[in-house]
């Protein structure tokens, strides 16, 4: 694995955007695996800038997001579909029909999950997977547990994740309890993985992922087995390495 430590979150975003832009320049119809959360926002802002400057053309790019909450409307202001539209897709020349987010309201979550993995495979697999990391080491919504789950699946959020995401909702009771998430196998199948982490509250999860055992209690630790994974960290997130 490669680890790069930057001075601040803005530089982490620029580095991530540069790597994503390079992928799109070398393969105009690249398949991007995208993430939500506050961490990738600077990277998305830089991609918007590069697109507006005419440096990167997203017109043929396909994207598959990592996860989506269950049981909130797709156009809810906190849905991950809305997040992606507001923070990236509405500002670049991507064809919105080529952007994909799991359907968290599917009547049959298992069928939706299988179809989502199949759609990624049919698109040729993910070229670059962008990840943030939860304070408990989760990636996507793969929460600490007894095993690594291979495929896309419905998950019940950990209490610590509900508390972490509470800031986006009016009350803790409004935070969705379930989500559909790419599995660890789906993530590990990406040809390149970029994990972004900024801020001191991610330092322990980064330390456990890099130096701890490879262990489903810290789901990101499995990334050490990936042949092309790059951790892009600011100094605070790297503070316990």
Binding site for ligand GLP (CB under 6 A): 35-39, 66-67, 132-134, 140-141, 161
Among 98, 136, 142, 189, the active-site one is 136
Q: E strands within 31-177? A: 31-34, 62-65, 67-69, 99-100, 128-131, 153-156
Distance from first CA to last CA of the chain, Å, rounded? Answer: 14
At closest approach, how far in Å is the CB of 59 from ligand GLP?
26
210-230 CB burial, b ≥16 within 10 A, e <16: bebeeebebbbbbbeebeebb
Q: Any catalytic annotation for residue 143? A: yes
Closest alpha carbon to 190 in 117, 239, 125? 125
Q: What is the CA radius of gyration of the chain?
A: 17
Cβ nearer to ligand GLP, comparing 27 with 116: 116
How far are the Cα atoms of 19, 56, 75, 130, 167 from residue 133, in angstroms, in the given order?
A: 19, 27, 25, 10, 17
At closest approach, how far in Å is the CB of 106 from ligand GLP?
18
Cβ nearer to ligand GLP, comparing 15 with 35: 35
Among 46, 100, 117, 138, the active-site one is 138
At closest approach, how far in Å is the CB of 207 from ligand GLP?
16
Cβ nearer to ligand GLP, comparing 38 with 45: 38
At closest approach, how far in Å is the CB of 118 from ligand GLP?
22
Among 46, 143, 208, 234, the active-site one is 143
Measure the CA–CA gap between 66 and 54, rounded to whole angstroms.
27
At closest approach, how far in Å is the CB of 26 from ligand GLP?
26
Cβ nearer to ligand GLP, comparing 60 with 82: 82
Cβ nearer to ligand GLP, comparing 67 with 112: 67
Q: E strands within 182-223? A: 192-197
Measure the CA–CA gap between 122 and 136, rounded to whole angstroms.
32
Among 46, 67, 117, 127, the active-site one is 67
Q: Any catalytic annotation for residue 67? A: yes
Q: Which residues are catalytic?
A: 67, 136, 138, 143
């Amino acid at each position: 694995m490669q680890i790069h430590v930057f001075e601040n979150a803005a530089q982490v975003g620029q580095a991530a955007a540069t790597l994503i832009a390079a992928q799109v320049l070398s393969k105009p119809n690249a398949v991007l695996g995208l993430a939500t959360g506050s961490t990738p926002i600077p990277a998305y802002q830089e991609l918007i800038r590069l697109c507006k400057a005419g440096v990167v053309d997203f017109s043929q790019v396909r994207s598959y997001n990592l996860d989506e909450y269950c049981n909130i409307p797709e156009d809810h202001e906190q849905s991950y579909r809305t997040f992606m539209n507001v923070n990236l897709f509405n500002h670049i020349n991507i064809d919105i029909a080529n952007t994909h987010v799991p359907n968290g309201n599917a009547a049959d979550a298992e069928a939706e999950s299988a179809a989502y993995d199949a759609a990624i495979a049919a698109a040729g697999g993910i070229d670059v997977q962008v990840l943030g990391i939860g304070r408990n080491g989760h990636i996507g919504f793969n929460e600490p547990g007894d095993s690594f789950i291979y495929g896309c699946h419905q998950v019940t959020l950990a209490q610590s994740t509900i508390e972490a995401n509470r800031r986006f909702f009016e009350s803790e009771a409004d935070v969705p309890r379930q989500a559909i998430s790419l599995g660890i196998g789906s993530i590990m199948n990406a040809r390149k993985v970029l994990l972004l982490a900024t801020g001191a509250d991610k330092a322990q999860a980064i330390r456990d992922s890099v130096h701890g055992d490879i262990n489903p209690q810290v789901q990101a630790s499995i990334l050490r087995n990936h042949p092309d994974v790059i951790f892009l960290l600011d100094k605070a997130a790297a503070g316990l390495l």
